Structure 1
């Protein structure tokens, strides 16, 4: 069997966590993908993956071989792209990762537009709230929200992710006369599971003073969309990004609480690894993202920063 295909199936099996996942990426039945793996192991004379009914695990030999495979496959892709660049066409496979909710809500139209502009490109989109290592996970481009760790990655800022505190109109009416964060002490909080501490619900006044909302979350979930739906139904107040909550605010299903206080915005960035030769498909996609996801964002329509704050 073709050695490069065998190596690609092996790498994809590790990346997706299953033979079936690799088979989907290569457009082949799982039985055939399994044969590629078996042929590779037979050729090498070593076991690369330990298989069980529940999981796959790399052997020490498999871990060492994977590193070389990733390097070789990346070089082959770059060589292919460099050759294609002589024709002026942008083609190849692009691997992109993004946070789950941001990807689900906003990347579909972007992906469709990019593929329509470049018919020779195929795209593998992984939505995952875990920060993936672009090199070890064989990812070309990642969309990240928040502060970026110092690294060798190249980052391009797309805009600001604004955070807002809001509740249903009924909730706001029941807490009429709010003027200070302390007025919400004890009010039911609907909290994202990675931010269950009240310390994460921090607002800043126009004087620069920080105020932390105190309370015990009534609902904790790892999905802000679900928390937004609960807030719309009147279950409590929610603190989250406008790319999720903005449309609810625009429809009047939610209203901002304490609009004279604001939260520090987070950056929305697209990152990619530094390399001697940047594939044209990566550069084209990054440019298209910056073009398609440019401020002012549609989900921020109607958003007004609190007094004393810039619209950054």
Structure 2
């Protein structure tokens, strides 16, 4: 088998495009296409299917990619080691983060200051990405992990907080039970245009009669501070306005449940030095995130 052709196939599978892979590897597109065709001929299977956006791996191609990608990365890792690049990491790191996850922005800045030769590409989305299909090295995921194709490293646990401006509370009166929220204009995070949010408050399932939904917590925070609505916010987005008195917590005796936060990477994938360095750096600097997630009543 032509292992150079296998390396080219792995590059195509990662980026989903022959032309992008050719550019990435610095080789002519006709050369790459010919080598992939020769590899398919040798294996007597089709590895790639052309799509409107580029190409995608077939079932046989997916199996080859799972077995070959780790070996290719291991060889690349050995090459870097021999060339003495271990002391100064050089390469690219592809990450996925939830939208509006501000504390992690600080952590990424510190990581890149520590490793200036690492190029970081961040894909910020509400969607739970497919690490293989989306070409992501490490994803930051909120919630429980029920995916045996990934390795999950637990980072911390936080919770959401029900908040409103003091002026809004003054206008509508204090709350003692989730049912009292019917007196308030509510807004909630929603991933679809017809979202029907449900808030779990102290074990009580409350269907939020939301007059406004949006898939952006920063937008919700701005509306809450303006005194327009009651909403839920992750603790790290509520902490500073709570400290400054721009927001107050509602129904503290009916808290939202705790939410775990994990870094995940593909189980079949050989974790590169850069990926391991990123995972270890995040674990070592968790206090930065924890400080930003801490709210006044937790101190």
The TM-score, its normalising length taken from structure 1, stands at 0.74
1:81 to 77, 101, 110: 77
- CA-to-partner distance for each residue in 1:190-221, whole Å, 9 max, x for gaps? 111149445x31211xxxxx223344210111
Kindly indicate whether the alpha-carbon contact (under 8 Å) linking 1:188 and 1:215 is maintained by their aligned counterparts in 2.
no
Partner in structure 2 of residue 201 of structure 1: 199
Q: Which stretch shifts more, 118-127 or 41-50?
A: 41-50
Q: Which deviates further from its counterpart, 157-166 or 61-70?
A: 61-70
CA separation in 2, counterparts of 1:164 and 1:50? 47
What CA deviation, in whole Å up to 9, does each residue of 1:265-289 have, x standing for no partner? Answer: 1011112233585322222111111
Name the residue aligned to 1:132.
Answer: 129
Q: Deviations over 1:73-122 (max 9, x none)?
A: 442222222343453424433322221222xx233332232233234433
- Pick closer, same or farther for the CA change 1:27–1:157 going to 2, 3 Å: same
> Structure 1 26/172 Cα, relative in aligned 2: closer, same or farther at 3 Å?
farther
| Matched-pair contact (CA < 8 Å) for 2:199–2:208 | no
Of 241, 244, 248 in structure 1, the residue corresponding to residue 237 of structure 2 is 244
* Cα offsets for 1:104-147 (capped at 9, x unmatched): x2333322322332344333322222222334444322211111
Report the CA distance shift for 1:40/1:232 in structure 2 as closer, same or farther (over 3 A): farther
Q: Given that residues 186 and 214 in structure 1 are in contact (C-alpha distance below 8 angstroms), is that contact kept between their aligned partners in structure 2?
A: no
Distance 1:64 1:76, change over 3 A: same
Alpha-carbon displacement from aligned partner over 1:216-235 (angstroms, at most 9, x marks no partner): 21011111211222222222
Alignment check: 8 A CA contact 2:139 2:265 kept: yes
Matched, 1:72 2:74: no
Partners of 2:154 and 2:260 within 8 A in 1: yes
- Secondary structure (helix, strand or coil) at the match of 2:100 reads helix
Alpha-carbon distance in 1 for matches of 2:165, 2:18: 46
Q: Distance in 1 between matches of 2:191 and 2:70?
A: 34
Q: Name the CA distance, whole Å, in 2 between partners of 1:152 and 1:12.
A: 17
1:226 maps to 2:239: no
Report if the CA contact (8 A) 2:172-2:183 is conserved.
Answer: no
Q: Is the 8 A contact 1:158 1:268 kept in 2?
A: yes
Identify the structure with bigger relative contact order (alpha carbons < 8 Å, sequence gap 6+): 2
CA contact 2:142–2:262 (8 Å) conserved in 1: yes
Q: CA deviation at 1:304?
A: 1.6
TM-score (norm 2): 0.77
Q: Residues 215 and 13 of structure 1: is their aligned pair in 2 closer, same or farther, counting only changes over 3 Å?
A: closer
Deviation at 1:244, TM superposition (A): 2.4
Alpha carbons of structure 1 residues 121 and 152: separation in structure 2 relative to 1, 3 Å: same
Structure 1: runs of 5 or more not aligned: 205-209, 306-310
**Partner residue of 1:282 out of 260, 275, 279:** 275
Corresponding position of 2:93? 94
In the alignment of these two chains, the number of paired residues is 286
Aligned Cα root-mean-square deviation (Å): 3.6
Secondary structure at the residue paired with 2:287?
A: coil
Q: Supply the distance in 2 between the matched residues of 1:57 and 1:152 (Cα, whole angstroms).
A: 23
Q: Partner residue of 1:207?
A: none
- Alpha-carbon distance in 1 for matches of 2:31, 2:59: 18
- Cα separation, 2, equivalents of 1:239 and 1:77: 43
